[in-house]
Copies of this chain bind each other. A is one copy, B any other.
Amino acid sequence: MACSNKDPCRKEPTCPPNCSYVSNPYLETMEEDVLYHFDLGTKTHNLHAMFGDVKHGMGIPSISIMLHELIKLLYHAKCTDVIAFRIGTSGGIGLHPGTVVISKVSVDACFQPHFEQNVMGTIKLYSTELNEGLVQELLTCSKETNQFDTIIGTTLCTSDFYEGQARLDGAFCNYTYEDKMKYLKRAYDAGVRNIEMESSIFAAMCNRSGLPGAVVCVTLLDRLQGDQIESSHEVLAEYQERPQKLVGCYIKKKFCKM
């Protein structure tokens, strides 16, 4: 369904439901749709009035559930021209701690640029490339802000923080320091500059829904130097603000031209 309302500063969206974000014919047939994990429903809440003017950012562990319900919320609330950001922290590879990485693509443990999903016993593969224009616009912002190092890189997304990221400090470790270093160097050679745990499903769901999405994460340590985070609480707190600052700069620039 096309929508001609392109003004992001409107108070009251006036366009019809923009179906392009969701692709589920059953939604229209449901008497009520309860977004269970948000405790919201289409009968009990006026989602259009509550969220119609929202442009969401996010960074949470259960990002798959969140994105399903967020994408449905955008549909019920008739949001248009939304951009999604996953901001957060990560482990770096070969970077000074505090460097911000804008992901061009998220790769799996074998450095493949897709997300694998098992639906009823069948494996589906979804592209995890991120929006190229958005990556470049964010890099431009970082140059204008000029407060910290920012690079474009490939992001490794794992389903485990310890063994999945070749750490030596987990409860289990059946490999050696040399195995770890070999894997991290292979990752570096494949273009990987940071490691986190949400970007692949984020990228896949952005691609599936047509939402432009960006992943902007600060690195808290260089995994080639160790596994544990050694910076002080104050330093880490400042690092964690960097992705917010960068995305904040982008949002201001993009949406607040008055």
A161 at the interface (CB under 8 A from B): yes
As for how many copies of this chain the complex holds, the number is 2
Contact with B along A14-55 (1 / 0, CB 8 A): 000000011111110010111010000000000000000000
**Residues of chain B within 8 A of A111, CB atoms compared:** 121
A25 x B173 contact (CB < 8 A): yes
Q: How far is the CA of A117 from the CA of B158 in the complex (A)?
A: 10
**Residues of chain B within 8 A of A164, CB atoms compared:** 117-119
Task: Return A30 CB to nearest CB of chain B, in Å.
Answer: 7
Summarize A's interface: helix, strand, loop or mixed. Answer: loop
**Residues of chain B within 8 A of A125, CB atoms compared:** none
Select the stretch in A61-69, A136-144, A146-154, A239-247 that faces chain B. A61-69
B64 x A61 contact (CB < 8 A): no
B118 x A108 contact (CB < 8 A): yes
B119 x A163 contact (CB < 8 A): yes
Q: Which of B68, B109, B121, B229 contacts A36 (CB 8 A)?
A: B229
Other than A118-B164, A120-B175, give 5 A-B pairs with Cβ distance below 8 A.
A24-B173, A25-B173, A26-B173, A65-B162, A68-B170
A residues sitting closer than 8 Å to B (CB atoms) are 21-27, 30, 32-34, 36, 61-62, 64-65, 67-69, 71-72, 75, 108-111, 117-121, 158-164, 166, 168-175, 177, 179-180, 183, 205, 208-209, 228-229
List the 9 closest A-B pairs by CB distance, nearest first. A71-B171, A24-B173, A109-B118, A120-B183, A26-B168, A68-B171, A119-B163, A68-B162, A65-B161
